[in-house]
Structures are given as structure tokens and as C-alpha cells.
Structure 1
Amino acid sequence: MKVALEQIAPDAGSSFHLLLTPHLSDVFLWHYHPEYEIVYIEGASGTRHVGDHISRYDGSDLVFIGPNIPHLNFDYGVRTDHRKVVVQLKENFLGEVFWQAPEFAAITELFERARSGVSFHGRTKAEVGAKLHQLADLPPFERIMTLLSIFQQLATSDECTPLYGKPVAGAYNLKEQQRLKRVHQFVAEQYTRKIDIPEVAELASLTEAAFCRYFKRMTRLTFTQFLNQYRINQAQKLLLTDHTVSEACFACGFESLSYFNRIFRRVTGENPLQFKKRHGV
């Protein structure tokens, strides 16, 4: 039974599929699909896990994902009352002629960039999020025209960040889904202490070598990379409060302050003090 490949069909009388606030916060859904997907979530803070990219969003998030990129549902683990809009559509949702029209050149380029996954922030995120919430109340013609205006706005915005560079075309079976969920939950519960790969491999019922191959195939990350990125995401939350760099380091499972600083810079592009200063903490 292949559950990771999500089967998607356009809504009746529409060229795309629209979902409003599908609550999946208790569901670990590491999945992919051949459709493009726009996700807007507000009233939530959580983890953005797209391919080998892991980062944190706070308050709201807007992401455009291309075909076959494995990703985790953006509301996984969210406990706040939130709203989410998801638009899913095939590459040829308006026919092949659509991509040949010069008027759509910018949108065509946007769809190419989406093959790596793109997140949007700032004014673009707020304005596009509002438009996405309006889609369900619009008649069919106005709905598709609004969607095209959304694509044009995204295409011309510089408030964006690429997420991932290697779309994956593969199927993950139910056993692999459940195994990855156990590992993810284990990290979420135990990241504050020392975690050894043999311990996690035993949890996954695999040898150490087999687990390392499995985890890299599923996430495009080594387990150590995944664990470090998860810990850095948690450390960022602490640094945004009144915690010192040293407190955040050891509270998130790092055993060396110099190693923490090095990994923090590798993951975020800045050191912890620069991060605190940039956020006015």
C-alpha cells in the first residue's frame, strides 16, 4: 500500500484542487505528489521541512512547492487554532498553450523555481495569503483569474527564499512512513540529551549502516544533519526569549559551545549573537 504518493484530482468544475484548513497537526505525513502546491498557514508556528531543507516559521508561512518534492505537512505538531489554505494543480492545469504565451513568461519562470521549493515572506506573504482565503468564495472565472494574479505577484516578488534543489520521484510505503515517524517523534522528545545513531537505528529496527542509508534516502539528509538542524531550530526559539547563547546551546543537546556556534552558522548563515541582534533580543 503506497500512502506517501498523494492522489490529487481537480475540484468539480475547476482546473485545480482547493483545501481549506485541513487539520493534520496530529498526522505525520512525509509525502510527495506530481502536482504543484501552494500552502499558506496562519496562526501557527512550526517546522518547514521540504526535501533536505528544515527551518522554522513563526506566525504564518507561504510556500510554493514543485512536483515530487518530499515534504512534511506544515501543521504537524501545531497546537494553536490556525487556518490553512492549500492549492494543488497540475503543471498543464490551463493546457500547454498557457506556457507558450509571452504574457505568462514570468509565471513560467516561477514554476521552474518552484521545482526547488520557494518560501515567501513580508508583504508578499500577507497579501497572497489574503487572496488565497478569498478563493473559495469566488465564482469559477474570478477564482482562476485571482489564482493567476497570485502567481504573477509571486513571480515578480523579491521577498522569497529557495528551499530545496533536488526533486525526488519515488514512492515510500507504509512501513517506511511509520518508521520515519518514530524517528521524528524520538528526536522531538529526546533532542535535549546525547543521541547516538545505534540507538536510533535500533528504534527503526535496522542495522546502523542500513539505517544511515534509509534515512538519507528518505530525507536527503544524514541523521546527524537532521538532528543538528532540529536542535538549531529549537535553539532559535530559546534565543528569541531571554536565554543566553550558552543556555540555548546546552538546553538543545549540544555538548560544546564552539561546535554549537559552528553548526548554528552553517545552518542559518550567522552566529547566535548576530541572530539575537538581528531580532532585537
Structure 2
Amino acid sequence: MKIQEEKIIFEKELSFKLSFPSLRNCFYWHYHPEIELVYVEAANGIRHVGKHISDFTGSDLLLIGSNVPHLNFDYGIKINYYQAVIQMRTQFFDSVIKNVPELNQVKGLLDRSYLGFSFGEETKREVARRLKNLSNEKKVDSLLDLIKILQILAESDEIEELNTEDTRVKLFFHDKIRMGIIYDYVHENYQNKPNVKDIAYSVHLTTGAFCRYFKKQTNLTFTDFVNQYRISKAKTFLLQNISVAEVCYQIGFESIPYFCTLFKKIVGETPTGFKKKFYIKE
């Protein structure tokens, strides 16, 4: 369950690696020196980059800097999904991007990628279209296509910084990363009011020490994390056309008004509004 360094193996004549990993049953909290671009299409999923934790609906596009710890974005997804991952050699940035004046915007983007970036709908659509046409076999064409994708990201006005501080792995090494145990506990108990004392005991900390550790790792209280996880599960159930009342009780809340208020606070719209926006009747 501790943080892992991923060793990425590149083909000899390629500057980047394109892959389509499927790790939904694996909690893979990891880092690597290569900058990574991830695109995921799924009904709902978890986004955990550095200290930032949130969820996404429909799709997600992320740029993750060198040595920034992150969770695999298909973790816990139970239905069909699509995931494409590009990992770029460190030499690609150092030898190419840095030395080409026309790519100064891209250089600026990659320089700041240690914060982790997510992108909005129009950018996602355009980049997804290009990603799906990429091929490791067309070497020069694919490299040019990747540079074009990076330029699109650099010019995007739909960019969100996920962290406000440097979260590269050197800042995490002095901690024994226990996030896998915590995620598993919350996943198994989210509908039964997870108890902070129980999870603190599971990771061999006092309740007070656990609360301080968790806040330091995620910038969230444990209660806020549980509520975000519950609302993430609620989105999944709402997308299955389950009633708001049934979803409320299914994720462990006893009050429908409280559930609706919390959902709107976290998501920005009511459960009914979310359901109407995303649910497509077959």
C-alpha cells in the first residue's frame, strides 16, 4: 500500500510511450520522473494527484508533472471505460521542448506541471480526438501530433491547477503512505458511517495523529473525504437512473434534504439537476 516508483520502459526509437492500462481493481499510488498525460472516459471516477482529491464525470484529461504522486484514474470503476496514457521521456523535455523558441508556451506549461492540471470540455474533446488517432507505429507523425496536443493544452483557457504547492514525491518520503488502506476502508464502509477511530487503529495511529496525518496528505478532513467519496458514489447511482431518495439511503445518509444540500455544495447542482443533465434514457 506504500507509494511506489513506476519504472517506465520505452521503445528504443520513441520519445514517448502510449498505453491503454486497465488497473481498476488495483490501488496504484505511484510516481515516476516522466511527465504524464492521461485521458479517461468513464461514467464517474476518482482524481487524486498530489494532495488534490476530487472526482470526475464522463471524462477527464490530466497533465501530471515529474515525480508527482498520483492514483490510477480507473481505480474502483466497475463499468466499461476507456483510458489512454502518454508518458514522455525526460530527454524529450530537456532536449527538444526547452530548446525550441516556438514551443515556449509548452515549456511554460510543462515547467508548472508539478502542480497537476485538469482541462475543460472543449479541450478534452479536441485532445481526445487526437489521442485516439495516435499510433506508436507512425513515429515522426505521432511525435508531431503529440507536440500539437501539448500546444493545445498550453493555449487552453480551460485549465485548472489541482495543487497550490509543490507535491513532488520528495515531500512525501518522510511519511509512511497509508492511503491504500484508507481508500479500501472507506470503500467498504462508506454507507455505514465510517469511524475515524477504526481507521486510525488500522493504520497504527492515535485518532489525533491520524487526523493530522490525513489533513497533511490531502488538505481534507477525514469527514470531508468520506462525504466526497459518498457523493462520488451517488453520482454513479444517479447515472443508473436510481431515484434521489434511494441513492440517499444507499450511500448512508438518513436525511434527503441534507443529502441534497451536501450534493449541491460539492457538485454545484442538485441531485435532480445532475441526473437530468447526464442521464440518457435508453
TM-score past 0.5 threshold: yes
Name the count of aligned residue pairs.
277
Q: Give CA-to-partner distance per residue, 1:167-203, whole Å, 9 cap, x none.
A: 3133667x945x4222211211211122221021122
> Matches of residues 79-158 of structure 1 in structure 2 within 5 Å?
79-89=78-88, 93-95=92-94, 98-99=97-98, 101-112=100-111, 114-158=113-157
Structure 2: which 5+ runs fail to align?
Answer: none
> Separation in 2 of the partners of 1:55 and 1:75?
11
> Separation in 2 of the partners of 1:222 and 1:71?
19
Secondary structure, aligned partner of 1:237: helix
> Separation in 1 of the partners of 2:234 and 2:166?
29
Sequence identity percentage: 40
> Separation in 2 of the partners of 1:239 and 1:64?
29
Match of 2:238 in 1: 239
> Separation in 2 of the partners of 1:165 and 1:142?
35
Q: Give CA-to-partner distance per residue, 1:27-80, whole Å, 9 cap, x none.
A: 21112333321012346743222232211333x432212233322101222344
Match of 2:202 in 1: 203
Q: Against the structure 1 CA distance between its residues 25 and 53, is the aligned structure 2 distance closer, same or farther, given a 3 Å change threshold?
A: same
Q: Against the structure 1 CA distance between its residues 242 and 82, is the aligned structure 2 distance closer, same or farther, given a 3 Å change threshold?
A: closer
- Alpha-carbon offset, residue 146 of structure 1: 1.3
Bigger mean CA deviation after superposition, 131-140 or 207-216: 131-140
- Alpha-carbon offset, residue 127 of structure 1: 3.8
Structure 1: which 5+ runs fail to align?
Answer: none
- Alpha-carbon offset, residue 273 of structure 1: 4.2
With normalisation by structure 1, the TM-score equals: 0.81
Match of 2:37 in 1: 38
Contact in 1 for aligned 2:44/2:235 (Cα 8 Å): no
Contact in 2 for aligned 1:68/1:169 (Cα 8 Å): yes
> Separation in 1 of the partners of 2:232 and 2:42?
19
Bigger mean CA deviation after superposition, 198-207 or 85-94: 85-94
> Separation in 1 of the partners of 2:193 and 2:3?
33
> Matches of residues 240-255 of structure 1 in structure 2 within 5 Å?
240-255=239-254
Secondary structure, aligned partner of 1:148: helix
Secondary structure, aligned partner of 2:38: strand
> Separation in 2 of the partners of 1:275 and 1:134?
32
> Separation in 1 of the partners of 2:77 and 2:271?
25
- Coordinate RMSD, CA, aligned: 3.2
Match of 1:230 in 2: 229
Contact in 2 for aligned 1:115/1:165 (Cα 8 Å): no
Q: Give CA-to-partner distance per residue, 1:136-183, whole Å, 9 cap, x none.
A: 34443222211101111222334544433333133667x945x42222
Residue 12 (structure 1) aligned with residue 23 (structure 2): no
Partner amino acid for 1:190?
Answer: N
Partner amino acid for 1:149?
Answer: K
Q: Give CA-to-partner distance per residue, 1:215-245, whole Å, 9 cap, x none.
A: 2343332211211110111122333444444
Partner amino acid for 2:228?
Answer: Q
> Separation in 1 of the partners of 2:98 and 2:124?
25
With normalisation by structure 2, the TM-score equals: 0.80
Match of 1:53 in 2: 53
Bigger mean CA deviation after superposition, 96-105 or 135-144: 96-105
Q: Against the structure 1 CA distance between its residues 181 and 142, is the aligned structure 2 distance closer, same or farther, given a 3 Å change threshold?
A: same
Partner amino acid for 1:233?
Answer: S
